[in-house]
Structure 1
Amino acid sequence: MGRDPTQGPNLNRYCGRNAVKIWVDHSLTDETEQYLGADGWPLGSGIFETVRTEDSRPQLLSRHMRRVLLSARHLGISLPDEDHILDAIEHVISAEPHPVGRLRLSFSSDHFVATHEAYLSKASHLVVEIYRTSGSTSERQHKVFPYTHHLDLLAKATEHGVDEFICVDELGRVTEGAVSNVALRIAGQWITPPITSGILPGVIRALAIERCDFLVREISENDLMSCEGAIAMSSLKIALPIASIDTRPIEIDSDSEQMCLKLRELARTL
């Protein structure tokens, strides 16, 4: 499988590490236990963005900031000013440098927390399974923490022996993965579900629509069994081809590979 272990629950990520620096409100600190749980997630509740970094450069940061600003306005959360956030990012990346990193910016009514950790992924493709859901998914319009539901869903996928789920709602509509947006190639056209299907408006998904001519329309469960190609998208993995859905092999052809490469290049250069 193409398992990416850094996406799932990571127990005691900060426990036992010496002088790990995080940014809290106005300065760096190594007193992580006051602000982060053992899993590395901030205490309390709020909104967050996860940003891939390469060679200390955050990818698509302006897009992430636009999304978190919209969520903050909708949910009534006050954000620090942009210069303050950029200063925090610069300091935390300098304090915790990694060739490829995961920058997490968390905003709540109590604190602004920024962390930067190594991101290691050797996955070249994903093996996925269909997972049927019920109930409202309207909260997915905002990237909120606690993130327990999504991490639990990803852990369940691991228990099932797959890398990720593709969720299908009670109306038979494809929505998204536990931590990914999805796109299918149907009759030669890449298609991704609309926001109205109850999905997070992902940064890479938006890039695929704007720069790679992905169409937006509802996708049915039947489409999963007949699609010619499939990819999963997120801000960390950018884009990875899906090699099978519910044990049905999907060819990773040149079109799928080139589309993933194009999205990765766009993420690096925009």
Structure 2
Amino acid sequence: MIETVLTPTLTIAYEQHGPENGDPVILLHGFPYSPRAFDEVAPALAAQGYRVIVPYLRGYGPTRFNSEQTLRSGQQAAIAQDLLDLMDALGIDQATLGGYDWGGRAACIVAALFPARVRGLVSGDGYLVQDIAHSNQPLDPEDEHRLWYQYYFHTPRGAEGLRQNRRQLCHLLWRLWSPTWSRREERYPLTAAAFDNPDFIEVVIHSYRHRFGYASGDPALEWMEEALAKQPVISVPTVSLCGADDGVGPPAVIDEDAEHFGGFYERRILAGVGHNIPEEAPQQILKALLDLLQR
């Protein structure tokens, strides 16, 4: 059942599992995904007595902006602020966070800047805070090749391509990013409807332009972007899950993210798993969350 809650910027749609008085866990999807990624994780946590919240991010599903005048920002600070606003609106002082891709970035930011509000963090692929000041430094050609879609979105052609072909393009990304996942064709239609949100295109395009400095952010969030430019350390207990077959960001042999974590930190590389970690490997993300919750 989908519920909604009013925040200063959004009316956020979310799915809730488990008892209201359970220890809260918030699970956050990425691009181009939806809460369906946690279909095998949320009920299992709820069965153990946890209150599990799975929101639709801005630009996805039934989540809506409260004002037509609000910038349809997809910048990292906006996604993080949405998470804080959601917690405030639901009366959650502290939660365990689990996320990947955009949702993992929001979770990392809140854990870094507001550690008192985060009991533990499960991050899909480590430290996800964007280093925008250095975003235009060329990468290894193999890495550049994997980021083709981001460069495509920097152009008017790419924005129109996403507008005209959102389901086909996102399906292609699913195939490229999770090349060894056998349930992709079965699961994709369950998520694709979330891309029909009227703000999906603007939010996505802004996200990929802002992170390279090609689009201005929301002035109200500049303070947070300035704090993130310092690449703050995450001090809360963290488990990083990395899909060994991730087609967009395969894990490096040496964990270069470790220096960004100042407390308990463990990286787990998941064999046979691509980018869509919670949907491809629900038992592994469930174990990581419980390992933190039961510490």
Q: Tell whether the structures are fold-level matches, with TM greater than 0.5.
A: no
TM-score normalised by structure 1 residue count:
0.28
- Could you say which structure has the greater relative contact order, defined with CA pairs below 8 angstroms and 6 or more residues apart? 2
